[in-house]
Amino acid sequence: MKNTISFPLLKSLSVIVLLGTLTTQCKQNSKEKVAAVINETDIVIPDGFSIELVAKDLGNLRHMTVSKNGDIYVNRSKLKDEKGIILLKDTDNDGKIDEEQQFGNLPGTGILIKNGYLYTSSNSGIYRYKLNENDEIIDIENPENIVDGLADKGRDNAKSFVMDDNANIYVTIGSWNDSCREEGNGNGIMPCAILDSAGGIWQFKADKLNQSFSDGIRYATGVKNAVGTAWNYKTNSLFAVVHGRGAFHDFYPEYYTAKHSEELPAETLYELHEGDDAGWPYIYYDQFKKKNILAPEYGGDGEKTGSENAIEPIMAFPAHLAPNDLLFYTGTMFPEKYRNGAFIAFHGQSPELKKGYFVAFVPFKDGKPNGNWEIFVDNFSGIDLANPNGPIQHRPCGLAQGPDGELYVSEDLNGTVYKITY
């Protein structure tokens, strides 16, 4: 299990809007210059890649999906113009978006084209729109309800989801309680009753209408909040990147320093199978000790190891990076090293790294991580996070692969969509 990071050869790209025309300036930089060129227009990508601004000012964008014709559907966590989903179209095939359409009246996160439907989520359920042979919605006013009534307590309520090839849909139900702690003290609820309806991933039928929570199967438990999930068709299994808990020093200063709270626990990548338990809230993963550690709410002191029943992650990342989407790259546009590997959109920042708001890459071989993870696209923040001198500019939220193998990235501060090509 690896938790180290490497930095590939990078170049800085300045995305410039001039008289309404978008251009991309590429310039080679030394490492020192790359570190120095920090402003809201500089995005750093590996040598040989290009990045293009597709659209902006679209609202609080979350996940997205791209049709076989290149149409981009994006879900929003908050309504904009009273609509939850936006469709971006290039009608004349010149590579530029020239038509936008908004629809749906519910905010949400997940969205996916599969088996002739556009599936999308609200904060409490999943619904779908029937598509024609061009992946266009037939009846935009009347989506079909797949499942509703999933827990929504206002915090960590994103219902991200993925599907397999057997008409199963896997839905994240995140926990609204950071560590299943009793209100007013530092004790954990034992057993944690939240796990009955949240803190895991549930399986429903993708082709059955009007399901309720009770129709689902708790596929994996102990998963605090997996906003980023993906079905890996090479391994035929579910993968998830999970937000870790916090507040160690706040409640347990006798065991944890403020630095511990900044650097623990790891954000984690799991391969999940039916019946797996990732251990939340009873354990957390310490990327320095490389062990599951017993949570202080349940008798831990920062040293005691956790339950043997809890699985370990297949990769760990620094704390507080907030992984918000996961994508396995299956295209052929990018170089060989990226094929079947995993891209992860990180929505937060690490006090340990003094970095954040980037897209990372994890190389895979034979269905397992193969080597160190690396920062693939950096500096969406637009500022030097080690010495911040202004507000964050962009926070990556969603990833999607285009029909030609291009990689799309959405972000939620300025409602921007980027396209990365090689």
pLDDT tops 80 at residue 7: no
pTM over 0.85: yes
Among 350, 342, 358, which residue's Cα sits nearest to residue 396? 358
Among 243, 73, 220, which residue's Cα sits nearest to residue 143? 73
> pLDDT-based confidence at 162, cuts 50/70/90?
very high
pLDDT tops 60 at residue 4: no
pLDDT at 186: 75
> pLDDT-based confidence at 28, cuts 50/70/90?
very low
Class of domain 5-421: mainly beta
Residues 244-266 have a mean pLDDT of 95
Please indicate whether residue 34 or residue 110 has the higher confidence score (pLDDT): 110
pLDDT at 1: 52
Could you give the CA distance from residue 70 to residue 87 in angstroms, rounded to a whole number?
Answer: 11
pLDDT tops 50 at residue 268: yes
**Above pLDDT 90, what percent of the chain?**
84
pLDDT at 44: 94
Residues 10-15 have a mean pLDDT of 45
pLDDT at 25: 29
pLDDT at 93: 78
Could you give the CA distance from residue 203 to residue 211 in angstroms, rounded to a whole number?
Answer: 11
What's the mean pLDDT when you consider all of the chain?
A: 90
Encoding tokens for residue 379? Answer: 């500096």
Could you give the CA distance from residue 364 to residue 129 in angstroms, rounded to a whole number?
Answer: 34
- In tens, the pLDDT along 175-220 reads 999 999 988 777 899 999 999 999 999 999 999 999 999 999 999 9
Least confident of 13-17, 19-23, 196-200: 19-23
pLDDT tops 50 at residue 49: yes
| C-alpha to C-alpha distances, 130 to 65, 75, 162, 266, 379, nearest whole angstrom | 15, 17, 17, 40, 38
pLDDT at 5: 53
- In tens, the pLDDT along 314-356 reads 999 999 999 999 999 999 999 999 999 999 999 999 999 999 9
Could you give the CA distance from residue 221 to residue 309 in angstroms, rounded to a whole number?
Answer: 12
Please indicate whether residue 265 or residue 13 has the higher confidence score (pLDDT): 265
Residue 31: enclosing H or E segment and its boundaries? helix 31-36
pLDDT at 30: 29
Q: Which residues have C-beta within 8 Å of that of residue 26, sequence separation ≥ 6?
A: 11, 13, 50
**Above pLDDT 70, what percent of the chain?**
90
- In tens, the pLDDT along 273-289 reads 999 999 999 999 999 99
- In tens, the pLDDT along 63-83 reads 999 999 999 999 999 999 999
**Range list of H helices, 181-265:** 248-251, 258-263
